[in-house]
Amino acid sequence: MRKTHQLRRLVVGEETWLWSVRHRHPECREILSLHHDATRATLRIVFRTRPGRLVPDGLLHSGGVGDRRAVLNLHEPGTVRRLFDEVASSGQLPVTSTEKELDGWPLFDALVGRDDA
């Protein structure tokens, strides 16, 4: 069984990103954190609880985020890669040793909308 907070590796071309998923309170939220292995740039994709949006609160499993259309599992490497690609395609990846936080729901909508098409 995997340790829940152990950093995992995502290789994209020549670059390596380390990632993990955590749940935080107050303001219930699920956070996918990606750290560039060389530059130490950090990207945090945050899914905050809000009406019509689901984050783990006792009903959903750890890493689950969703709405009435779909649920994504943030512990799945394929989901992380799809979210990463969506951020990269929009030019929002952090550079150098900066930290960047993004609202995860627009990314969720883009992925789920693409799946529905």
pLDDT digits (tens, 9 = 90+) for 54-79: 888 777 788 999 999 999 999 999 99
pLDDT, tens only, 39-51: 999 999 999 999 9
pLDDT, tens only, 20-33: 999 888 888 999 99
The pLDDT of residue 117 is above 70: no
CA distances from 73 to 9, 81, 82, 94, 99 (A): 17, 12, 11, 23, 23
| pLDDT value for 115 | 67
| pLDDT value for 107 | 98
Torsion region of 52: left, alpha or beta (phi above 0 gives left; psi -120 to 50 gives alpha): left
State the angle between helix axes of 77-89 and 104-116 in degrees (0 to 180), rounded to the nearest 10.
100
| pLDDT value for 1 | 42
